[in-house]
Chains A and B, each alone.
Chain A
Amino acid sequence: MAEINAVYVLIARDLKKFVREKSRLLSTLARPVIWLFLVGGGMSRLVSDSMGMPYIQFIFPGILGMTILFGSIFSSISIIWDKEFGLMKEILVAPVSRFSIVIGKALSGSLISLLQATMILLISPIIGIDLGLQQIIYALAVSFLLAFCISSLGIIIATFFESFESFSAIMNFIVMPMFFLSGAMYPVQKLPDILKGVSKVNPLTYGVDALKHALLQDSRFTDFSIAMDIGVLIAASIIFVSIAGYLFTKRI
C-alpha cells in the first residue's frame, strides 16, 4: 500500500504542476505544431510528388513521436531539477522503495506525454488525416508504450547529471539525434549504413514505425511489422526501467 501511495503521489504532483504551468503546456504544444506546419509545410513542395502522399501527412506520426520524445524526456529529467533543489532528498528518505520512485516517475512522464499526444492527434483532420476510433485507440496505446519507454530512458539519463547546466548537452547529444535517426522526418532505409545501424537501436524508431502503422495504414511507409515494433518497445521498456531502478539505488 505504501508503494502504491508513493507512485500515486509522484504522478499527482507532476500532473498538478503540468496543468498549473500554462506556459509550459503551451510551449510543449507549440514545438510539434511549428515543426508540422513550418517544416512539414515547407518541405511538402519539395517532396510530395515522389512519395505518393503529402509530406505533411507522412511526418505526422513522426511529429507525434517527437511530442512524446520531448514530453517524456523533459518530465524525467526534472529529476535533475529535484536533485539540485532538494526535493529528491525528501523522496529518498521516505519509507518507499527506490523502484516505486522510478515507476512513479516513469508513469507520470508517460501520462503527461499521452496528454500532449492526444492534443496533437486532434490536429489530424486539419492536415487531411481522417482517423477512426479504432485507429485513435491504437495510436494512443502505442503512444503510452513509447512514452513509458522514453521516460524510463530519461530517468537513466537523469541519474548521471547533478545540475541543470547539462541540459543542452542532453538535448544536443541525445534527444536531437534520437529524433532525426528515428524515421520521423525521412525514411531511415535511405541513410548511410552506419546511421541506419544507429537508428535500429533507437527505441524511438520503433515507436514512430508503430505510429505509422496506426495513422498512415500504408505498408510502403513502415519498416518493421507491428509485432516487432511493439515487441521492441516492451522489451526496451523493461530493460530501461530495470536499469533505472538499479541506478537509482546505486547512484542517487
Chain B
Amino acid sequence: MPVIKINNLSKSYGEIHAVRNVSLEVAKGSIFGFLGPNGAGKTTTINILCTLLKPTSGTASIAGYDCNTESSGVRNHIGIVFQDTTLDKDLTAYENLLFHAYLYSVKRKDRKKKIEDSLEFVGLYERRHDLVKKFSGGMKRRLEVARGLIHDPEVLFLDEPTLGLDPQSRSNLWEFITKLPEKQGVTVFMTTHYMEEAEVCDQIAIIDRGSIIAQGTPNELKKSIGGDIIYIKTSDNEKAASDIEKLLNLKPTIKNGEIYVTVERGDTCLPELIRTLGESVLSVRLQRPTLNDVFLQLTGKQIRDVEISAGATLKENVRSHRRKFGRD
C-alpha cells in the first residue's frame, strides 16, 4: 500500500520549471531515496509534499490526504527534518520537543513520555536539559529527527540529513535512520546528493533538472547500467582475452595492460574466469557499479559537476523569482 502518491506533479516559477511531471509511489514502511544534484528539484518536491508550496499542476497525497487541499491532514501525519537547522537554540532539547508537542496537539498525558522516548531513541536523553546552542551539528540533526517523531507521523521527511556533518556523525545518523521503519513504524522519504548514502534505501528515484530519470531498487538501478566490471592481469593478456571470448562467451577489452569485462554477476563469474585462465592470472579485481556510475550513465555527467553549474543557477533563479512574486 503506497503511503505517498505523486501524480504528474509540476512546479514552475514563470519560465523556470523546477519540477516537471514527477510521478512516484512510496510503499508504507520503506526507506525511499530521492536523489539528484543540488537544484534538481528535490527540496521543491518536498516543500509541495509538506504543503509549504502549491504545485502548478498535478496531485500528491500522503496517507490518503491531498497535499493541495487537505493540508491540515497532511501536516498531522508527517514529520520533517529540513536541510537547515530549525531548532530554537536558546531553548533546551526538552523544551524544543515540548514546543513541538504543543504545536501538534500531542495529548497531555502522552507528552512527557513521547518526548523522553524519542530523546532516548536518538541518544540525547542525558542532554535533554542542555541548551541547544551547546549541541554539535550531529546532535542537532538527531534532535530534529527525534522532534519529527513525537507526534507519530506516517512519513518522516529528511531533506539532506547528513549535509555538513563529519563522517562519524554521518554514519551515526545513518545507523538510526535505517532503524526508523522497524522501530518507529514510519516511512522515510529522504533526499540526498551523496549517491553512496542512498545504498541503504529500499527504493530510489533519481531526479535531474526537475524530471525523474530513473526509479527502482539500488540493485536494479546498478544492474540497469550493465552489471559488474572485472579487471584481470595475466602473463599473456592477448591469449587470455581470446580465451575469455571463446570459452566464456564474453566481450573482453584490453586497456592499460589489463583486461576488463562487464558481466551481470561478478561474484559468480569471477571463480569461473580464474578456473578458465588457470595459472596465467596475476591479479584480479572486481568493481561493482555505484549509484554514481548510474547517474553518470544516465546523464553523461558526474553528479558533482552538475551541482556547480545547472544546480546553482536554477536555485538562484528560483530564489529571485520568489523574492519578486512571493512564495506561490
Residues of chain A in range 93-139 having any CB-CB distance to chain B below 8 Å: 93-96
Enumerate chain A residues within 8 angstroms of B326, measured Cβ to Cβ: 250-251
Enumerate chain B residues within 8 angstroms of A198, measured Cβ to Cβ: none
Separation in Å of the A62 CB from the closest CB of chain B?
Answer: 32
Question: Do residues B75 and A93 form an inter-chain contact, with CB atoms below 8 A?
Answer: yes
Enumerate chain B residues within 8 angstroms of A92, measured Cβ to Cβ: 52
Of A2-10, A52-60, A206-214, the segment with at least 4 beta carbons within 8 Å of chain B is A2-10
Residues of chain B in range 261-310 having any CB-CB distance to chain A below 8 Å: none
Question: Do residues A16 and B52 form an inter-chain contact, with CB atoms below 8 A?
Answer: no
Question: Do residues B86 and A86 form an inter-chain contact, with CB atoms below 8 A?
Answer: yes
Enumerate chain B residues within 8 angstroms of A16, measured Cβ to Cβ: 91, 95
A9 touching B102 in the complex, CB below 8 Å, given contacts A93-B52, A95-B72, A95-B76: yes
Question: Do residues A21 and B85 form an inter-chain contact, with CB atoms below 8 A?
Answer: no
Question: Do residues A86 and B82 form an inter-chain contact, with CB atoms below 8 A?
Answer: yes
Q: Which residue of B lies closest to A87 (CB)?
A: B88
Separation in Å of the A164 CB from the closest CB of chain B?
Answer: 14
How many Å lie between the Cα of A8 and that of B102 in the bound state? 8
Question: Do residues B87 and A5 form an inter-chain contact, with CB atoms below 8 A?
Answer: no
How many Å lie between the Cα of A150 and that of B2 in the bound state? 48
Query: Residue-by-residue, is B99-138 near A (CB-CB < 8 Å gives 1, otherwise 0)?
Result: 1101111000000000000000000000000000000000
Question: Do residues B91 and A1 form an inter-chain contact, with CB atoms below 8 A?
Answer: no
Question: Do residues B95 and A1 form an inter-chain contact, with CB atoms below 8 A?
Answer: no
How many Å lie between the Cα of A3 and that of B191 in the bound state? 31
Enumerate chain A residues within 8 angstroms of B78, measured Cβ to Cβ: 93
Question: Do residues B99 and A86 form an inter-chain contact, with CB atoms below 8 A?
Answer: no
Separation in Å of the B98 CB from the closest CB of chain A?
Answer: 8
How many Å lie between the Cα of A250 and that of B100 in the bound state? 23
How many Å lie between the Cα of A17 and that of B85 in the bound state? 19
Q: Which residue of A lies closest to B71 (CB)?
A: A95
Q: Which residue of B lies closest to A89 (CB)?
A: B86
Enumerate chain B residues within 8 angstroms of A93, measured Cβ to Cβ: 50-52, 75, 78, 80
How many Å lie between the Cα of A15 and that of B156 in the bound state? 31
Question: Do residues B103 and A21 form an inter-chain contact, with CB atoms below 8 A?
Answer: no
* Chain B: number of interface residues, binned into ranges: 20 to 34
Question: Do residues B90 and A21 form an inter-chain contact, with CB atoms below 8 A?
Answer: yes
**Residue tally, chain A, CB below 8 Å to B:** 27
- B179 part of interface (Cβ distance < 8 Å): no
- B239 part of interface (Cβ distance < 8 Å): no
Question: Do residues B103 and A9 form an inter-chain contact, with CB atoms below 8 A?
Answer: yes
- A220 part of interface (Cβ distance < 8 Å): no
Enumerate chain B residues within 8 angstroms of A85, measured Cβ to Cβ: 85, 89
Enumerate chain B residues within 8 angstroms of A9, measured Cβ to Cβ: 98-99, 102-103
Separation in Å of the B51 CB from the closest CB of chain A?
Answer: 7
How many Å lie between the Cα of A219 and that of B72 in the bound state? 53
Given A2, A8, A13, A89, which contacts B91 in the complex, CB threshold below 8 Å?
A13
Question: Do residues B90 and A2 form an inter-chain contact, with CB atoms below 8 A?
Answer: no
Enumerate chain B residues within 8 angstroms of A90, measured Cβ to Cβ: 82, 86-87, 100, 103, 147
Question: Do residues A91 and B90 form an inter-chain contact, with CB atoms below 8 A?
Answer: no
How many Å lie between the Cα of A131 and that of B86 in the bound state? 46
Interface centre among A9, A17, A90, A96 (most CB of B within 10 A): A90
How many Å lie between the Cα of A9 and that of B106 in the bound state? 12
Given B85, B91, B103, which contacts A91 in the complex, CB threshold below 8 Å?
B103
Given B75, B89, B91, B98, which contacts A94 in the complex, CB threshold below 8 Å?
B75
Separation in Å of the B264 CB from the closest CB of chain A?
Answer: 45
- A20 part of interface (Cβ distance < 8 Å): yes
Query: Residue-by-residue, is A181-215 near B (CB-CB < 8 Å gives 1, otherwise 0)?
Result: 00000000000000000000000000000000000
Q: Which residue of A lies closest to B86 (CB)?
A: A86
Question: Do residues B52 and A87 form an inter-chain contact, with CB atoms below 8 A?
Answer: no
- B84 part of interface (Cβ distance < 8 Å): yes
By Cβ-Cβ distance, the 6 closest A-B pairs, closest first, are: A9-B102, A86-B86, A95-B75, A94-B103, A90-B86, A2-B105
Q: Could you show 15 A-B contacts with beta carbons less than 8 Å apart?
A: A6-B102, A6-B103, A13-B95, A17-B88, A17-B90, A87-B86, A87-B88, A89-B84, A90-B82, A90-B100, A90-B103, A90-B147, A91-B103, A94-B103, A95-B76
Q: Please report B residues at the A interface, Cβ cutoff 8 Å.
A: 50-52, 72, 75-76, 78, 80, 82, 84-91, 95, 98-100, 102-105, 147, 326-328
| Contacts A90-B87, A91-B103, A252-B327 known; 17 new A-B pairs at CB < 8 A | A1-B105, A13-B88, A13-B99, A16-B91, A17-B90, A86-B85, A87-B86, A89-B52, A89-B84, A90-B147, A92-B52, A93-B78, A93-B80, A94-B103, A94-B104, A95-B103, A250-B327
